[in-house]
Amino acid sequence: MTGNTTFANEIETEHKTEVIQPTALESQTKAEFDVAVATAHRYPRSLTRFRTQALTMATIDAEVAASCYYRLSRQGRDGAKTIEGPSVRFAEIVANAYGNLKFGARIIEIGEKEVVAQGVCHDLEANVSTSTEVRRRITTKNGSRFGDDMIAVTCNAACSLALRNAIFKAVPFALAKPIYEQAKRVAVGDAKTLAERRSKCLAAFTAIGIEPKRIFAKLGIAGSDEITLAHVEDLIGTHTAIKDGELDPDTEFPEVKADKPKGGDDLAAKPGAQPATTAPQTANAQQPTTGGKA
């Protein structure tokens, strides 16, 4: 009898469930999330209001509109390919106008050769959550690892890209596309504003260390007067991509090599070279007159 009692006590001990009480932080986080969901259901979004607010913010001026899209070129098997899309700034505008979203980004891994960022966007009203990951290299072409400051810059750029991708998975881009196209038109302008847009584009690139001659070489033109509206659209998108960390400015706009001097300049540049001398006059050459009698 004693043996059976001991065995029963052992079974009861094995099946005893331990209840872990949530911490104060966990309780607070859950309460905040529940309030956010309840508020989203109490004040549902309006797509009409979303379009109006997003369009107002994206086209408030040419500078804001210019930050709404990026454009870059990539070399593929079939030659150069242009890639264009909405920028991180445009994603922020869309998310704020759409409403009832909870979004953010963080670094989840820093390896020897790359960093991994995770972007998350949760639609509190529809109860839809999306997450994306972006990997960015932290080594040079020679394989050397970036310094601490450059790694921090790369991490920030990766987080921005991951956040953008997550937002446009939660918010259908089809709803934002008309706003995106209108922002591009405001950024580029028309024939009346072409001269102004040219100057602003060149000034913006000069501010990040890209001289106009490098831009002209990239576009295959002789000077600023040949910059067209199509060029302005490309330059604005490229500048946004550089600011968002998707492009390296020195790679996209390589240094322009100076032309080699010709003729006497080549000889003067070489040590020990003798300057060219004039041919000696022959005996039959006509001598200059002095104005006196012979």
State whether 182 and 155 are in the same domain.
yes
- What domain range includes position 212? 189-255
What are residue 214's phi and psi, to 5 degrees? -70, -35
pLDDT tens, residue by residue, 120-172: 999 999 988 999 999 999 998 888 999 999 999 999 999 999 999 999 999 99
Res. 288 pLDDT band, cuts 50 70 90: very low
State whether 71 and 174 are in the same domain.
yes
Q: Which CATH number is 79's domain given?
A: 3.30.390
In a domain, 279, yes or no: no
Domain end among 165, 188, 211: 188
Res. 269 pLDDT band, cuts 50 70 90: very low
| Distance, CA of 13 to CA of 7 (rounded, Å) | 10
Number of domains in the chain: 2
State whether 176 and 68 are in the same domain.
yes
| Distance, CA of 174 to CA of 48 (rounded, Å) | 14
Q: Above 70 in pLDDT, residue 98?
A: yes
In a domain, 167, yes or no: yes
Domain end among 169, 188, 207: 188
Give the contacts of 293 (CB within 8 A, at least 6 positions apart). Answer: none
pLDDT tens, residue by residue, 183-232: 999 999 888 888 888 999 999 999 988 999 999 998 889 988 999 988 99
Of 152, 160, 151, 149, nearest to 113 (Cα)? Answer: 151
**Global pTM exceeds 0.75:** no
* C-alpha to C-alpha distances, 167 to 87, 88, 246, 288, nearest whole angstrom: 11, 9, 18, 87
